[in-house]
Every structure is written in C-alpha cells, then in structure tokens.
C-alpha cells in the first residue's frame, strides 16, 4: 500500500514553528523511526511509521493513554498491569492484545491513542525552538495496523480548528480546561482580527483571564455587550427535547430549572446531527439556533487539548457524586455564556452536557452551575447503578 502523506496546508503552518517543523518534514517524507526532542528536563519522543504517528511519549504524560483506556473501557488496574507486563515480555502491541483479549473495543483503543498522542503533539508544538535539541533515529518496522496510526496533519488541524470553530464563529473568548491545564483564546478586536492564545496552569486561570481582558480592553467590550444584550422574555425553562418525565429531564429540571441565570441546558451525544438526549430552553429563545450553538461549542471538547496527567481521578470519581474531573469548555458569546463538559460513561455514554447562562451573570457563577449539573447527573447515574 502506498503511504499517504499529510495534507500540505496543515503542515505548511507547522513548519513555521520548530521543533514541530522537524517532525512535519519527516512525516512529509513518509519516514519511519523515532523522533526525539529534548528541552531542559523535558523529553518528547514521537514514533513514525511511514510518515504516520504510531506512538508518542512525554515524561509529563506517561499515563494519559492508560488512564484514558481505563476510563473508556472500564478496565480494572490489576488486569491492565498483567496485560502490560505480558506485552513488554513478548514485545507485542498493547492495543492489539487488549482488543484480541476482548478487554477493550477497537474504537476505545483508537480514541485513547488519539487522545494521548494529541496531548503530546500539543506539548511539542508549544516548545521554544531555540532551547530544544532534536534527533531522528531511522528504523524500519514490521507489520502493523495502519488504522491505529494517525496523520500528523490531522493532529495539527485538530488544535488549529479550535480557532475557526469559536473566535471565528462569534465568540470573543474561549477556554478549554482539564486536570492537566487550560488553553485560553481571546479575540483582540473582532472575529477577523488576530487572536491571542496561551496555555496556563489551572491555578493561574483566573489571574490570566483578568490580565488578558484588562490588557486588551475586553472587559469594557464585554460590559457593553452585556448591557446591550436583550433580556429573556421569560426565565422559565421548558423541556424541548427528550422524555420530559425521564431521568435526565428530572435531573436537569431539579439542578437548573429554577435558576434565573440559566437560559438553556442540554445533554448531547457525539453523533453529528443527532437530537439532544434531553434539552431545556428558556421561553423567548430560538430553539433550533440554541441547539445548533450548543452542538458547535460541544465539539470544542474534541478539538482542544487532551486531558492531562491526574485524570485517572475521573475513573474513580465516576463511582461517586463528585465526578467533575472531565474536560470542560467555556465560550463568551455576544448574548450569553456557553459551558460544556464531558459526562462520565455511567451517566450517559459518550455524552456532553451544555449549559448556557445570560451575559449579565459572571463566568464564575456559570462554572458553579455547570459543576452542580455534572455532580447531579453523576450522582443520579451512581444511584441507579447501585439499586
């Protein structure tokens, strides 16, 4: 089979940002081997097979793949350790061993690989080129499953498309947050003007937002937008999607149904174009437009950085009411705040919860309502599971 080279558009942009440029050049030549990049105490290794990314290692993200796989496939730690030991002794692919043993589905393995590799590629892209040292060790490999490798341009575009789907789509601010850190984006003047992006530690999130907004005049613009925003005709939420008497509807109604700041709440699937599993929209809002916006912002969870180290807590906390260790997104729209978060598999497999608040409330209040709704859905799933 003739190897496909990554798209030139995505890689052309990458070449402007070493050391990712070195990796992009190797991928364009369909090279096979190990790419190593060192920066002070950090070491990143990318394994290529005929120009496609087969594996990635980063000292800061040594367990992302395992943690993601445990969360998706619900593997117990003892079984996973046994399989890992066997694969190390036989030099067999861990992914293939898990699938063949029936311990994980092919889709779960591929999604976990993509999440892990994406997080390492993002770290590589963020490295300061003058302070790095890169080497490539060419090596040929035997047979392998091509579907468990990834086009480098696909991984690069995955992060670049976040700009197009948010700040180029009417939002003035977006943040993707997870246990390992946060990615922030802010429109400096307008949707067609340059945008500012940065990665920060979660403990610096609040201070960074204040600094960004103050330096670029965003606070005054947001105050003007909030003053100009049309008030809702009614703060009463009505069930627009799903079973109004079902479990999801009951949880949404109890958690945010009477909250004046909330203008809409949804539980969505990842399937494109599918109707929400459940939805509530305030009277006076266009339901179709509100659902379309919810879907677009929910997709940011797939485009932003992968969950980082420490996210193993998501698997453990899925058994209790405090499961809020998922990836979360917020965007500032002209007339509302939009918050989105992944839900634990037990609550709704592969689902996302989206919450919209009026612009006259603060971002902090919105985060609090989102956490309350996540906890309520997780607790309801736990309660039903132990009956």
Q: What is the CATH number of the domain that holds 265?
A: 3.30.450.30
Q: Which percentage of the chain shows pLDDT scores above 90?
A: 13
Copy the structure tokens of residue 233: 């005709």
Considering only CA atoms, which of 182, 64, 43, 38 is closest in space to residue 118? 64
Name which residue leads in pLDDT, 19 or 305: 19
Task: Report whether 242 contacts 278 (CB < 8 A).
Answer: yes
Buried b (16+ CB within 10 A) or exposed e, 88-97: eeeeebbbeb
Residue 204 — pLDDT band, cuts 50, 70, 90? confident
DSSP 3-state of 172: coil
> What is the distance between the alpha carbons of residues 383 and 351, in angstroms, rounded to a whole number?
18
Residue 273's pLDDT is: 72
Residue 340's pLDDT is: 94
Together in a domain, 61 and 198: no
pLDDT over 50 at 16, yes or no: no
> What is the distance between the alpha carbons of residues 363 and 332, in angstroms, rounded to a whole number?
9
Region of poorest pLDDT, from 117-121, 177-181, 249-253, 282-286: 177-181
Residue 14 — pLDDT band, cuts 50, 70, 90? very low
In this structure, is residue 372 part of a structural domain?
yes
Instruction: Compute how many other C-beta atoms are within 10 angstroms of the C-beta atom of residue 235.
Output: 16
Together in a domain, 329 and 248: yes
Copy the structure tokens of residue 292: 């379309």
Domain count, the chain: 2
Instruction: Compute how many other C-beta atoms are within 10 angstroms of the C-beta atom of residue 147.
Output: 9
Which of 38-52, 88-102, 292-306 has the largest mean confidence? 38-52
Together in a domain, 230 and 259: yes
Kindly give the pairing relationship between strand 181-187 and strand 133-138: unpaired
Domain's final residue, options 111, 135, 159: 159
Together in a domain, 170 and 128: no
Instruction: Judge if the upstream peptide bond of residue 292 is cis by omega within 30 degrees of 0.
Output: no
pLDDT over 60 at 236, yes or no: yes
In this structure, is residue 254 part of a structural domain?
yes
Together in a domain, 209 and 312: yes
Together in a domain, 301 and 208: yes
What are the two backbone dihedrals, phi and then psi, of residue 334, each rounded to the nearest 5 degrees?
-55, -30
Residue 57's pLDDT is: 85
Together in a domain, 21 and 74: yes
Residue 290 — pLDDT band, cuts 50, 70, 90? very high
Per-residue pLDDT tens over the stretch 78-125: 888 888 888 878 877 778 888 888 888 888 888 888 878 877 887 776
Together in a domain, 140 and 188: no
Name which residue leads in pLDDT, 20 or 369: 369
Instruction: Give the mean model confidence (pLDDT) for residues 244-250.
Output: 87
> What is the distance between the alpha carbons of residues 233 and 223, in angstroms, rounded to a whole number?
21
DSSP 3-state of 237: strand
pLDDT over 90 at 337, yes or no: yes
DSSP 3-state of 137: strand
Kindly give the pairing relationship between strand 181-187 and strand 195-200: antiparallel
Per-residue pLDDT tens over the stretch 164-179: 678 777 888 888 887 6
Residue 348's pLDDT is: 65
Instruction: Give the mean model confidence (pLDDT) for residues 222-249.
Output: 68
Residue 342's pLDDT is: 86
> What is the distance between the alpha carbons of residues 28 and 46, in angstroms, rounded to a whole number?
15
Helix 152-164 to helix 106-126 angle, to the nearest 10 degrees?
Answer: 70
In this structure, is residue 3 part of a structural domain?
no
Residue 330's pLDDT is: 93
The distance from CA 340 to its chain's CA centroid, rounded to whole angstroms, is 10
| Structural domain range at position 54 | 8-159
Instruction: Compute how many other C-beta atoms are within 10 angstroms of the C-beta atom of residue 382.
Output: 18
Per-residue pLDDT tens over the stretch 58-75: 876 656 677 777 777 777
Residue 180's pLDDT is: 65
Gyration radius from the chain CA atoms: 22
In this structure, is residue 83 part of a structural domain?
yes
Together in a domain, 378 and 327: yes
Together in a domain, 224 and 367: yes
Domain's final residue, options 159, 184, 203: 159
């Amino acid at each position: 089979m003739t190897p496909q080279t990554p798209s030139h558009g995505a890689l052309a942009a990458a070449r402007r940002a070493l050391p990712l440029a070195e990796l992009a050049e190797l991928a364009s030549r369909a090279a096979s081997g190990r790419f190593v990049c060192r920066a002070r105490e950090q070491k990143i290794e990318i394994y290529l097979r005929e120009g496609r990314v087969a594996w990635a290692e980063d000292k800061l993200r040594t367990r992302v793949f395992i943690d993601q796989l445990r969360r998706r496939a619900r593997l117990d730690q003892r079984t996973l350790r046994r399989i890992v030991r066997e694969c190390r002794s036989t030099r067999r692919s861990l992914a293939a061993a898990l699938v063949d043993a029936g311990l994980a589905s092919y889709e779960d393995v591929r999604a976990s690989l993509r999440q892990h590799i994406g997080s390492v590629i993002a770290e590589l892209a963020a490295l300061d080129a003058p302070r790095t040292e890169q080497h490539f060790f060419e090596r040929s490999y035997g047979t392998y499953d091509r579907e468990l490798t990834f086009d480098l341009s696909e991984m690069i575009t995955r992060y670049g498309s976040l700009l197009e789907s948010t700040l180029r789509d009417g939002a003035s601010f977006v943040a993707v947050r997870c246990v390992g850190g946060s990615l922030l984006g802010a429109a400096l003047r307008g949707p067609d003007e340059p945008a500012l992006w940065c990665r920060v530690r979660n403990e610096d999130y609040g201070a960074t937002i204040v600094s960004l907004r103050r330096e670029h005049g965003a606070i005054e613009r947001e105050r003007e937008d909030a003053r100009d925003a049309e008030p809702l005709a009614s703060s009463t939420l009505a069930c627009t999607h799903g079973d109004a008497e079902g479990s999801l509807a009951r949880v949404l109604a109890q958690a945010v149904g009477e909250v004046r700041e909330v203008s809409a709440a949804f539980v969505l699937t990842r399937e494109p174009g599918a109707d929400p599993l459940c939805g509530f929209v305030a009277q006076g809002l266009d339901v179709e437009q509100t659902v379309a916006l919810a879907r677009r912002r929910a997709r940011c969870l797939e485009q932003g950085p992968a969950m980082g180290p420490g996210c193993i807590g998501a698997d453990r906390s899925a058994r209790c009411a405090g499961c809020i260790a998922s990836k979360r997104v917020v965007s500032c729209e002209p007339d509302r705040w939009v918050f989105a978060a992944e839900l634990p598999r037990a609550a709704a497999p592969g689902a996302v919860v989206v919450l919209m608040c009026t612009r006259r409330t603060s971002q902090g209040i919105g985060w609090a309502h989102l956490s309350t709704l996540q906890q309520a859905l997780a607790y309801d799933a736990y309660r039903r599971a132990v009956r």
